[in-house]
Amino acid sequence: MRFSLSAALAALLFTLAATASATAPPNEDGYDLWLRYRPLDKSAQASVQAQARSIVLPGAATPTTQAALDELQKGLGGLLGRAPAPATRIADGALLLATPARLPELNSNASPLRAELAALGNEGYLLRQTRVQGYNVTLIAANSDIGLLYGTYAWLRDIGTGAKLEASSAPTLQLRLLNHWDNLNRTVERGYSGQSIWDWWALPDIKDQRYTDYARANASLGINGTVLNNVNSKPEVLTAPFIAKAAAIADVLRPYGIKVYLSARWSTPLELKETSTADPLSPEVQAWWKRKADEIYKTIPDFGGFVVKANSEGQPGPQDYHRTHADGANMLAAALAPHKGIVMWRAFVYAPKGTHIGEDRAKQGFDEFKPLDGQFAPNVLVQVKNGAIDFQPREPFHPLFGALKTPVMMEFQITKEYLGFSTDMAYLGTMFEETLQADTMTAAGGRTVAKTLSGIAGVSNIGTDRNWAGSHFDQANWYAFGRMAWNQQAKAKDVAAEWAALTFGADQRVVAPIVKMMMESRETVVNYMTPLGLHHIMGTGHHHGPAPWVDNLERPDWNPVYYHRAGRDGIGFDRTAKGSNALAQYAPEFARQYSDPKTTPEQFLLWFHHLPWDYKMRSGRTLWAELLAHYDKGLADARSLHDQWVALKPLIDARRYTEEEQRLTRQMANALLWRDACIAYFQSVSGLPLPAGVKAPAHSLEYYKSLTFPYAPGHW
């Protein structure tokens, strides 16, 4: 009796377990990114099948169209269980990939698509249910093979998100790049996702499968260039063995429309002992770079060009020879121009040791580059970080946007150096949108930052971690960067919804709550780290954790106290005419609005103003009470992010659920640390009591000051 009862119980438990595992999604490790192609449900399968009974590519396959065909095999194989075979004849229900060169009738005056296609440029595509040669087809059309590849990814994305076919799309910017801050020894500066994916030692002979998957992921977003190595570069990267290694990577990326670029160290020829100086006006130096460019293009015929960090944070540069940034950039530009290469010269420069010390760091990029405007060669772009300090959780846009005639590239940081590495959740789509849509007021009627750009770069968050980005949600930042590099008008929320559907499945019970979390996440981090326009109050060097008290570093503008300027009288950096007057670098209308604290958006208040603690905020609270309220909100929202995720447990596969749950738990602790340490410190300087209801920090200020993080990652 007892035996049969327990047998019955066991049978019941077994059935329950089997039912549970049949409904819970299978575990995933994140390697497939947003290109997962998990099986669709039966009805969706039927409708996709009807659009792709056969796959037809008129004309011969090229490496790029082969990549498109391979992706369709993989994609439809996963989504439908079986991919249709490639066919040579157009028939009803064909998925037809065509350019005017492959299907001349697209070019005929009678074709309704002709004009539409012509407007899409080299990289655009259109997707259409239409009739071709009397057959009903799904058409992916473009002017080039790379357009077909982009169109293929768009079609697969539409299927994965359950969206209706996109009509047509073309990028606004020609240059859409990732910047890897990867070192030749495979460490990654500000990298939080393992080692560099570039295995320099094994290259050029061994080309990891990851390189192909990296190319697929980037091409699916329309990223068309990648700088392989750190802006803090080494001379060796321009020697023959490394050029051969870069060429091997370029070979893998080429079919996917991705060009390879390198970071060049200014003093390379001198350090390699091949010249006696690195003066850009020296004929010997000019000849060396010309030879070097010729050598690179022999090996990598479509090499993109150089990015250069010069005379910044100890890097050598033309100013070492009393030459200007323009002299330096133009010398490299001349070497690359015959090959159609470009120079992306970074504007992230701040005074070398000994000079300009004491000048507002936020002003220095503009002060250096504005006077040089008009002096740069046509194939030079100035690459400008989104804000004037350094990738803070929130910064106003850099005053160089809209101020130069010289073409300007945007530099965003996808890796979260200042936003909690890869442990804290912070979806950066909202930050990208905020910056791209900010009005520079440099033209009548307004001009957004997006409208001032000629290119866009994102500092990569990619590494050897199985999930590529360190955490599943950090994949969304790579994704959002790529989608917004293609289309600066894309909305962060739509991009989040797309990513969530592709990454976790197009089930609204999952997508809607995940999008909500993502949309809240960056503001949460801003609130518990640097609310109301505070900035650069992180730990020294590694930038982890709060350290608003630090006041003893070599340069004043490395110290948090320099940036927050908190004292008995108040808090904030006065950048109005009464202070550093950084505001004068912006358009007059912008400067006027931001000169008055009353008309300055409160999210930037302490960036531009030094105000007394009892300054009245829009909420009616004092500045002191408001600051505390923001820290409290940051902590509460970090806890809420965790709870929202926990509620999703039944709908997420166990592996990804757990990996993220652990991070969100850690984020709550990080938020608490920030909140408590900042309140303890700011209270010590303001001397004010905590208003009723505000919880005292758990420990003394001394305790927070005593914390050290010697092995924090990303600090090479």
Active site residues: 313, 390, 417
Tell me the two tokens of residue 250. Answer: 């370029």
- Please give the full DSSP string across 452-475, using - where no structure is assigned: G-SEEEEE----SSTTSSSSHHHH
Nearer to ligand BDP, 231 or 441 (CB): 231
Nearer to ligand BDP, 29 or 313 (CB): 313
Least distance (Å) from ligand BDP to the CB of residue 202? 26
Nearest partner of 82 among 74, 93, 91, judged by Cα: 74
Residue 225 CA to residue 569 CA, distance in Å, equals 49
Least distance (Å) from ligand BDP to the CB of residue 231? 5
What is the footprint of ligand BDP within residues 308-367 (CB under 6 A)? 309, 313, 348
Nearer to ligand BDP, 190 or 663 (CB): 190
Nearer to ligand BDP, 309 or 361 (CB): 309
Least distance (Å) from ligand BDP to the CB of residue 523? 21
How many residues in the shown chain lie near ligand BDP by CB under 6 A? 10
Spatial contact of 363 and 582, defined as CB atoms under 8 Å apart: yes
What is the footprint of ligand BDP within residues 377-416 (CB under 6 A)? 390-391
Least distance (Å) from ligand BDP to the CB of residue 537? 15
Tell me the two tokens of residue 162. Answer: 């359950």
Nearer to ligand BDP, 159 or 537 (CB): 537
Under rule CB under 6 A, residue 189 binds ligand BDP:
yes
Beta strands 168-169 and 125-132 are antiparallel
What is the footprint of ligand BDP within residues 410-469 (CB under 6 A)? 417
Nearer to ligand BDP, 309 or 642 (CB): 309
* String marking each residue 219-248 x if it binds ligand BDP according to CB under 6 A: ------------xx----------------
Burial of 205: CB neighbours in 10 Å, binned 0-12, 13-18, 19+: exposed
Spatial contact of 641 and 517, defined as CB atoms under 8 Å apart: yes
Least distance (Å) from ligand BDP to the CB of residue 80? 45
The type of residue at 291 is R
Tell me the two tokens of residue 3. Answer: 């035996």
Under rule CB under 6 A, residue 368 binds ligand BDP:
no
Taking CB atoms, the residue at the shortest distance from ligand BDP is 390
Least distance (Å) from ligand BDP to the CB of residue 221? 23
Nearer to ligand BDP, 192 or 391 (CB): 391
Least distance (Å) from ligand BDP to the CB of residue 715? 8
- Please give the full DSSP string across 334-352, using - where no structure is assigned: HHHGGGT-EEEEE------
Under rule CB under 6 A, residue 626 binds ligand BDP:
no
**Which of 190, 292, 398, 575 contacts ligand BDP by CB under 6 A?**
190
Residue 246 CA to residue 261 CA, distance in Å, equals 9
Residue 510 CA to residue 647 CA, distance in Å, equals 10
Separation in Å, CA 157 to CA 34, 45, 109, 225, 670: 9, 14, 31, 21, 35
What is the footprint of ligand BDP within residues 261-290 (CB under 6 A)? none
> Sign of torsion, CA 308 310 314 320?
positive
Residue 49 CA to residue 69 CA, distance in Å, equals 16
* Chain residues that interact with ligand BDP, rule: CB under 6 A: 189-190, 231-232, 309, 313, 348, 390-391, 417
